[in-house]
Structure 1
C-alpha cells in the first residue's frame, strides 16, 4: 500500500491508518487504568505503601501531562510520523522494565518512562488525523473514533487488568503492550503518511521542564495536604515549587517567539469549553473506576476479574455514545452532547451512590452505564471542539492541549480522590481494626457524592461556554 497524504489518499487508506493510530492510543488508554484492579496485588507482592501505590498510578499521568505540550510542538518540528514511532519504541521498552520491576520505586520510575512514551505518541495521533482527514465532516468522525478508542482504553483497563491477574502474574499487565507495540511499528512504517518535519518550528526544552516541575509539585502538595501525618515543611516546599514553576513557565512563554502554549487560544469559548469538558469527564470516569474497583475488592471480597467486569458497564455504554457524538454534532450542537452529557454523568453517579448505599447491585450497574454514556458523549465532541477551533498553524499545540486535558483529569482524580479516601476513612474507622468495612463504605459513598456534584457543576459551566449551541468548532464565537 502506498504512503498516504492528505491530498490523494483513498478512504480505505485513511481509515486503515486511523486503525493503526488507534492501536497506539488503546495502549495509552489502557495503561491509565489497568492498575486499578492490580493495585491490591501490587501492594502485596512489592510491599508498596499507600503513598507508593498512588505514585505508581500517578507517575504515568504526571509525566504525560507535564511533557505533552512540548512533545506536540516537537512533533511539528521533526514530524508527527517520526514522533509516533519514537513514542511506540519508548513505550515498548518501558513496558518490559515495568513488567520485571524488582521493587515499588523501580516500578514508579518505569511508569514514568511509560508516560514519556505516551506523551511522545499522543499529540502525534491527533495531529496526524488533522493532516490525513482534510474534509471537516470526515475529520469530525475520525476524531470521534479517536475519542472512542481513548474512552474504551481507559474504561477497559480494569477489565483487562482483572483478566490478566486471573491467569498470570502482575507483570503481565505491562508485558501485554510489547506485541502491540511491535505490530503498530510495522503497520506505521507500511501505511502512515510521509513524515513532514518543519525545521522552522522551535522546541523549547526548559518550558517542558517547568511544566513538569509545576505538575509534580502540585501533586505532591495535594498528597501531603491530605496526609493526616503531614510534614509541614514538605507541604510548604511543594506549594512554593508549584507557584515558582507556574510563574517561570508563563514568563517563558511570553518571551518565546514560538511558545509551547499561547494563552490567547483560550479566548475561544469553544476551545476553552472543550478543554474543561475533556478534563471533567476524565476526572469523573477515572475517579469512579479507581474508587469502585478498590472498594469491591477490599471490602466485598471481589477478585480483580470480578471487580473489572463490574465496571465494564462504563465501557459498554461509552463506546456507542462516543461514536454517536461525532456523527450527530452538526445536527444537534455542542450543548446537548457536552452539558447534557455531564448531567447524565451526575445522574449516573447519584444513582450509583444510592444503590451502593442500599447494596442494590443491578441499579448500581445501571448508574455506571449512565456515567459511561454521558462521558462518551462528552469526550468525542470535546476533542472536536479543541482541535477544530484552533488555527491550522497551531495543530500540534492544540493536540498537546487536548491530550493534556484528558491526562490532567485522570491525574487530579487519582491525586485528589485517592488522597481524600484515607482521610475520610480515618474519621470513621474503629481503632485497632485492620479494615473497617462500614467506615470504608462511608468514605467511598462520600467520594461518589463529590464526583456527582463536580459533574453537575461542569454541566452548568459547559452550557455557558457553548452558549448559543454552536454546531461546529468553527462557528462564530
Structure 2
C-alpha cells in the first residue's frame, strides 16, 4: 500500500535536496573513481610489483564488470525495488573501498576493483531512474539529471589533479578509501530522501536467467574486444575471435529475448521511437567522445611533442564546457523542447568530429573547437536522451532503461577506441610511442587521424540520422493521435 510520503512528489529541486545529494554522490563515485586512480597506476605498479597486464586489469576489470552487469541489475531493480538494490550496492561499495587498506598484491586489488564494478552496476543506473521518478514534470527531471551529472563531471575534471596532490602526501590506497565516505553520504541521502518502491510500480515476471547470462556475455566480450585490438593489433586472431564471440552471443541474446515469454529486455519496448532514438543519440555521443579523446591525447603528446602537463591543459576547453555547460542545459531544453534538443546536440557532436577529422592538422585552434563542439553536444545529449528513453518506457521498466542508456554509452565508447586504434595500427608503421618520428611516420599519423576522425564522423552521423528519423516518428504518431476522430467512448479507433 502506498504511503502518504510516497504520494507527495516534490515540486522543486529544493524540496528533494536530500535525495538529490545522495544520487549526486552515486554519480560522483562513478566519475571520480577511474579518473583519480589512473594517476596512481605507476605508483601501484611499483609498490605491488604488478605486470603491465595486471596493471591494465586494475582499471579494466572495473569497467568490464560494471558494463557487463548493468542490464542484469537493472532488470532485478525493476522487479525487487530500485531503492533496495541501490542501498545494497552502496553498502558493497563502502566495504570494497575499506578492503583497499588491506591489499598487498595486484591480484587482490583486481578483486577489489571487481567488487567495486559490481557495486557500480547496482547503483549507477538506479541514480538516473530514481531521479526521473522523483518528479512528474519533465522540466524538473531535466534539471535534476543535469545537477547530478554536473557533480559527477566536476569529479571527473578534478580527479587527476586531486589524485596527484594526494599522492604527494599520502599512500595510493587513500584514493580508493575516499569512496567509503562517498558511499555513506549516498546511502544516507537515498535512505532518507527516497521512499521505498511502491509494489504497484514493480513487476513480478520470472527472472530471465539465460537472457541475463547471454546479455552479460555479449557486453563483456564487446568491451574486451576493443582492448584486444589496441594491444594485439588488427592482425592478431584473438581480437577477431572475441568480436565474433560477441556477435554470436548478441544473436543468441536477441533470439532468446524474442522467444521467451518473460524476457530480461523486452525488445518491443526498445523499439519504441523515444527509446530507440535516445539510445542512438547516446551511442553517437559515446563513440565520439571516446574516439576523439584517444586521438587528441596521442596527437598532442606524440605528434606535436607536448609534455603531459601541457597536453592536460590542452584538454581544458572540453573540461570547462562539460562542467560549466550544465547551467545552459535547462534553458536550452526549455527553448527548443526535449526532442529537438536531443537531435540538435547529437548533431553538434557529429559536426565536432568532422572539424577534427578535416582540420586538426592545421593547428590547435581547430582541435580546441572540435573539443568544445563535442563536449557541448555531449553535455546536452547526456541529459536529454536519457530522459527521453525513460519517458518512452513503462514505469516498471525505468531502471533497466537507465541501464540500457549506460550500457549503450559504455559499448560505443569501447567501439570508438577500437576503431581509432585499429586504423592507427593499420596506417602507422613502427612503434607509435617511439620518440623522434621520421617525416614518413608523421605523415602516416596525420593520415590515420584524418581517416579515423572521418570514419567516426560517418558512423556517428548514421546513428544521429537514424535517431532523428525515429524521433520524427514520435511526433508523427502524436499528431495522428490528436487528429484521429474519436469514437463514442472517447477513444481513437
Q: In which range does the TM-score fall when normalised by the shorter chain? A: 0.7 to 0.9
> What is the CA-CA distance between 1:271 and the residue it aligns to?
1.4
- Residue in 2 aligned with 1:287? 291
2:262 pairs with 241, 258, 262, which one? Answer: 258
> What is the CA-CA distance between 1:21 and the residue it aligns to?
0.4
Q: How does 1:424-435 map to 2 (within 5 A)?
A: 427-429=429-431, 435=435
Q: 1:218 to 1:282 in 2, by over 3 A?
A: closer
> What is the CA-CA distance between 1:160 and the residue it aligns to?
4.4
Alignment gaps of 5+ in structure 1? none
- Residue in 2 aligned with 1:344? 348
> What is the CA-CA distance between 1:281 and the residue it aligns to?
1.2
Q: 1:220 to 1:65 in 2, by over 3 A?
A: closer
- Residue in 2 aligned with 1:404? 407
CA–CA distance in 1 between the matches of 2:378 and 2:222? 26
CA–CA distance in 2 between the matches of 1:452 and 1:192? 45
Q: Report the 3-state secondary structure (helix = DSSP H, G, I; strand = E; otherwise coil) of the residue aligned with 1:133.
A: coil
- Residue in 2 aligned with 1:58? 60
Q: Report the 3-state secondary structure (helix = DSSP H, G, I; strand = E; otherwise coil) of the residue aligned with 1:476.
A: helix
Contact 2:357 2:449 in 1 (8 A): no
CA–CA distance in 2 between the matches of 1:163 and 1:298? 26
> What is the CA-CA distance between 1:275 and the residue it aligns to?
0.7
* 2:147 paired with 1:145: yes
Contact 2:273 2:474 in 1 (8 A): no
- Residue in 1 aligned with 2:27? 25
CA–CA distance in 2 between the matches of 1:368 and 1:169? 34
- Residue in 1 aligned with 2:79? 77
Deviates more, 1:169-178 or 1:117-126: 169-178
- Residue in 2 aligned with 1:384? 387
The one-character-per-residue Cα deviations of 1:426-452 (angstroms, maximum 9, x if unpaired) are: 61449xx85455658964883576245
- Residue in 1 aligned with 2:332? 328
> What is the CA-CA distance between 1:109 and the residue it aligns to?
3.6
- Residue in 1 aligned with 2:135? 133
1:211 pairs with 204, 211, 215, which one? Answer: 215
Alignment gaps of 5+ in structure 2? 480-493
CA–CA distance in 1 between the matches of 2:369 and 2:225? 36
- Residue in 2 aligned with 1:5? 6
CA–CA distance in 2 between the matches of 1:213 and 1:436? 42
Deviates more, 1:277-286 or 1:464-473: 464-473
Q: 1:220 to 1:203 in 2, by over 3 A?
A: same
Q: 1:449 to 1:321 in 2, by over 3 A?
A: farther
* 2:271 paired with 1:267: yes
* Superposed CA RMSD: 4.0
The one-character-per-residue Cα deviations of 1:211-247 (angstroms, maximum 9, x if unpaired) are: 2222233344444455249663x45653553244324
CA–CA distance in 1 between the matches of 2:208 and 2:97? 28
Q: Report the 3-state secondary structure (helix = DSSP H, G, I; strand = E; otherwise coil) of the residue aligned with 1:5.
A: helix
Q: 1:46 to 1:370 in 2, by over 3 A?
A: farther
The one-character-per-residue Cα deviations of 1:266-295 (angstroms, maximum 9, x if unpaired) are: 322331121121122123223333554566
Give the TM-score taking structure 2 as reference length: 0.79
> What is the CA-CA distance between 1:121 and the residue it aligns to?
0.3
> What is the CA-CA distance between 1:353 and the residue it aligns to?
6.5
- Residue in 2 aligned with 1:176? 178
Q: Report the 3-state secondary structure (helix = DSSP H, G, I; strand = E; otherwise coil) of the residue aligned with 1:238.
A: helix
Q: 1:419 to 1:207 in 2, by over 3 A?
A: same
Q: 1:42 to 1:366 in 2, by over 3 A?
A: farther
- Residue in 2 aligned with 1:95? 97
The one-character-per-residue Cα deviations of 1:172-221 (angstroms, maximum 9, x if unpaired) are: 43232222112222232222223445472433344322222222333444
- Residue in 2 aligned with 1:114? 116
Q: 1:71 to 1:356 in 2, by over 3 A?
A: same
- Residue in 2 aligned with 1:462? 464
Q: Report the 3-state secondary structure (helix = DSSP H, G, I; strand = E; otherwise coil) of the residue aligned with 1:341.
A: helix
Q: 1:269 to 1:231 in 2, by over 3 A?
A: same
- Residue in 1 aligned with 2:194? 192
| Structure index of larger Rg | 2
CA–CA distance in 2 between the matches of 1:327 and 1:32? 31
Give the TM-score taking structure 1 as reference length: 0.81
